[in-house]
């Protein structure tokens, strides 16, 4: 008789028209192209419940991140540390950071991060969905593990120019023919799927792939983009189990090599990711689910304190006249200050590991670079390791030391952690994956 059960839930968390997108860096929501969802599961059994949820939002940070974990923990009758909240990181979608928004309002800034009332209401709806889901939990007897290569989607932001020097401008869509023609660079080519089975019946499947999830964005058209639309297509397949998708560690991975920003390319990326999901499913092998272990390692990352990132610099930027469209320079300063205030409290970032023996799910903060995902897999070559990115997103980019040394251009404003972050990140992986 199965001792483990799973309860699945899905909730609409689409932002209202007029809500800021990508933390104020692009036009506010003007039209809803497709809904934004929070989809997740609760594992129940001999141990305290564990919640995993993937949210079609750009980022969830600081106080808002803790509220997500607290409210879902209350609904599932567990501890907040046992709740994994992962943003999927679409850009035509909200960023949630209450302190940053309050700072903007205090300074009467033209910028906007989020509508706090909407965020709180959305969290409450998801918590209610979690509570309802517990009433229809199903037994789990087996774990399914599968992976497959995804063709022509991911590419590293870094590429080598004709002068032999590294370039970092390969964003989510790229027109530069050199950047398009350069090799993919460092990526994880595999989409991984972990599924939960009641004997021979599949109940739920979580797929994860490392790439920025944007094909085209910045037009005020709210969308779950190609990853959410591929997930929806997979869900519509005949007899498909409950489908989830999460983004891997992809701070420095985009679809730019294969996407020039033409809206028509979205269909190509949907198709390729969907095919990867199907191939991973077809490659799935079952394993008896004998035990579940869960552990958390507290990670401390120091705040960046170089020119432009000191508290005085950020406060001055926020108090001064805005010089960027939509007040985005104010937004960046507010996001940086929100993280600095949390860091001043010596607050750690939880790095959780959900351990099934044959497979492990580990979650890393913010826009962790793909090198950390590959390092996690190398640490446990005896298991299928699924690394979720975009946990606590207050960090922004979490690069390696090499990227600081090479002056990675992406670190000019969306990176709030100091050089030296690589060692504590690797130490956290070592501790939580090999304990």
pLDDT digits (tens, 9 = 90+) for 160-180: 998 999 999 899 999 999 999
Q: In this predicted structure, what is the pLDDT of residue 347?
A: 87
Encoding tokens for residue 29? 């929501």
Q: 395-424: string of b/e by CB count within 10 Å (b at 16+)? A: bbbbbbeebbeeebebbebbbbbebebbeb
For residues 407-417, average pLDDT: 96
pLDDT of residue 226 exceeding 60: yes
Say how far apart CA 143 and CA 120 lie, in whole Å: 34
Label residue 1 by pLDDT band (50, 70, 90): very low
Q: In this predicted structure, what is the pLDDT of residue 239?
A: 86
Encoding tokens for residue 411? 């670190």
CA triplet 77, 81, 82: central angle to 5 degrees? 55
Residue 312 to residues 91, 118, 319, Cα–Cα distance (Å): 29, 31, 10
Say how far apart CA 17 and CA 102 lie, in whole Å: 20
Say how far apart CA 360 and CA 383 lie, in whole Å: 7
Label residue 346 by pLDDT band (50, 70, 90): confident
Q: Using alpha carbons, select from 214, 222, 219, 218 the residue that is nearest to residue 93.
A: 222
When the pLDDT of each residue in the chain is averaged and rounded to a whole number, the result is 97
pLDDT of residue 240 exceeding 90: no
| CB of 192 closer than 8 Å to CB of 147 | yes
Say how far apart CA 11 and CA 35 lie, in whole Å: 10
Report phi then psi at 15, rounded to 5: -75, 155
Encoding tokens for residue 206? 């979580």
Say how far apart CA 268 and CA 55 lie, in whole Å: 23
- Eight-class DSSP state of 338: H
Label residue 263 by pLDDT band (50, 70, 90): confident
| CB of 120 closer than 8 Å to CB of 88 | no
Q: In this predicted structure, what is the pLDDT of residue 431?
A: 97
Identify any residues that bridge with 40 across adjacent strands, giving them in sequence order: 9, 53
Q: In this predicted structure, what is the pLDDT of residue 181?
A: 94
pLDDT digits (tens, 9 = 90+) for 37-85: 999 999 999 889 999 999 999 999 999 999 999 999 999 999 999 999 9
> DSSP of 3-17, one letter per residue?
-EEEEEEEEE-PPPT
User: Which comes out higher in pLDDT, residue 358 or 290?
Assistant: 358
pLDDT digits (tens, 9 = 90+) for 31-47: 999 999 999 999 999 88
Between 111-115, 259-263, 396-400, the lowest mean confidence (pLDDT) is in: 259-263
pLDDT of residue 435 exceeding 80: no
């Amino acid at each position: 008789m199965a001792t483990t059960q799973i309860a699945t839930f899905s909730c609409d968390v689409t932002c209202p028209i007029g809500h800021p997108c990508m933390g104020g860096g692009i036009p506010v929501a003007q039209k809803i192209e497709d809904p934004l969802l929070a989809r997740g599961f609760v594992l129940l059994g001999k141990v305290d419940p564990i919640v995993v949820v993937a949210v079609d939002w750009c980022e969830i940070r600081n106080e808002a991140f803790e509220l997500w974990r607290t409210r879902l923990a209350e609904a599932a009758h567990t501890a907040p540390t046992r709740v994994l909240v992962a943003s999927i990181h679409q850009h035509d979608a909200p960023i949630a950071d209450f302190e940053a928004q309050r700072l903007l309002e205090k300074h009467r800034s033209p910028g906007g991060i989020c509508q706090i009332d909407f965020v709180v209401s959305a969290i409450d709806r998801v918590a209610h969905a979690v509570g309802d889901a517990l009433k229809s939990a199903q037994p789990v007897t087996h774990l399914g593990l599968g992976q497959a290569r995804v063709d022509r989607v991911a590419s590293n932001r870094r590429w080598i120019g004709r002068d032999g020097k590294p370039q970092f401008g390969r964003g989510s869509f790229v027109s530069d023919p050199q950047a398009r023609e350069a090799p993919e660079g460092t990526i994880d080519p595999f989409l991984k799927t972990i599924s939960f089975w009641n004997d021979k019946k599949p109940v739920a499947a979580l797929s994860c792939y490392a790439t920025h999830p944007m094909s085209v964005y910045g037009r005020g058209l709210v969308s779950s983009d190609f990853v959410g639309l591929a997930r929806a297509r997979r869900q519509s397949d005949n007899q498909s189990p409950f489908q989830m998708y999460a983004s891997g560690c992809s701070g420095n991975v985009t679809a730019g090599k294969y996407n020039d920003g033409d809206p028509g390319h979205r269909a190509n990326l949907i198709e390729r990711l969907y095919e990867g999901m199907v191939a991973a499913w077809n490659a799935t092998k079952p394993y008896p689910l004998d035990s579940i272990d869960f552990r958390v390692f507290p990670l401390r990352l120091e705040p960046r304190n170089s020119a432009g990132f000191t508290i005085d610099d950020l406060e001055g930027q926020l108090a001064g006249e805005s010089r960027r469209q939509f007040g985005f320079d104010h937004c960046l300063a507010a996001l940086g200050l929100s993280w600095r205030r949390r860091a001043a409290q010596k607050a750690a970032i939880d790095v959780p590991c959900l351990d099934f023996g044959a497979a492990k799910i580990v979650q890393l903060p913010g826009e962790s670079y793909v090198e950390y995902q590959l390092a996690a897999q190398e640490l446990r070559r005896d298991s299928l390791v699924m690394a979720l990115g975009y946990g606590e997103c207050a960090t922004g980019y979490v690069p390696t030391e090499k990227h600081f040394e090479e002056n990675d251009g992406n670190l000019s404003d969306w990176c709030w952690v100091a050089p030296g972050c690589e060692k504590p990140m690797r130490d956290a992986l070592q501790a939580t994956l090999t304990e």
